[in-house]
């Protein structure tokens, strides 16, 4: 009797652990979307083709800086010689002028919270940030 009770309890705990780990990516995506909405959505979207004051950020990882067709980038961004990756996005969101001096991100001066930057990057990398 004790063994079956213990086995049931352990089985229940295992189910809870599996369920909570499966919902963690959804929670991370939701937190990332919230951080994106709070810090970026005024000027940017993640919808492909939907440029606003800033270019859409759909598929930003791996894209050459200043290369999205149909968006009028600053000369500095067009001349930037790199492709966006998580590290470059993190540094740019923290201090845009330190990464691309002369960019058009004014009045945005940077996002101080490393946690929010990480959430936004995770959101941009996820399928949740698709069209």
What dotted CATH number matches 24-129? 1.10.760.10
Confidence at residue 28, expressed as pLDDT on a 0 to 100 scale: 82
Cβ proximity of 88 and 97 under 8 Å: no
The pLDDT of residue 26:
58
Sequence-separated contacts (24+) of 68-76 with Cβ below 8 Å: 73/104, 74/102, 74/103, 74/104, 75/102, 76/100, 76/101, 76/102, 76/103
Average of per-residue pLDDT across 10-28:
44
54-57 own/partner pairs: CB under 8 Å, 24+ apart: 54/105, 57/124, 57/129
pLDDT tens per residue across span 92-108 = 999 999 999 999 998 89
pLDDT of residue 17: 37
C-alpha–C-alpha distance, residues 83 and 61, integer Å: 8
């Amino acid at each position: 009797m004790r063994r079956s009770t213990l086995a049931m309890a352990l089985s229940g705990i295992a189910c809870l652990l599996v369920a909570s780990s499966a919902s963690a990516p959804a929670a991370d995506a939701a937190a990332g979307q919230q951080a994106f909405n709070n810090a970026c959505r005024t000027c940017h979207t993640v919808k492909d083709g939907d440029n606003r004051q800033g270019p859409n950020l759909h598929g930003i990882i791996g894209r050459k800086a200043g290369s999205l067709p149909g968006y009028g980038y600053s000369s500095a961004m067009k001349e930037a010689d790199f492709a966006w990756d998580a590290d470059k996005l993190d540094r740019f969101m923290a201090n845009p002028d330190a990464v691309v001096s002369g960019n058009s991100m004014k009045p945005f001066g940077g996002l101080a919270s490393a946690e929010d930057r990480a959430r936004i990057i995770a959101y941009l990398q996820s399928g949740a940030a698709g069209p």
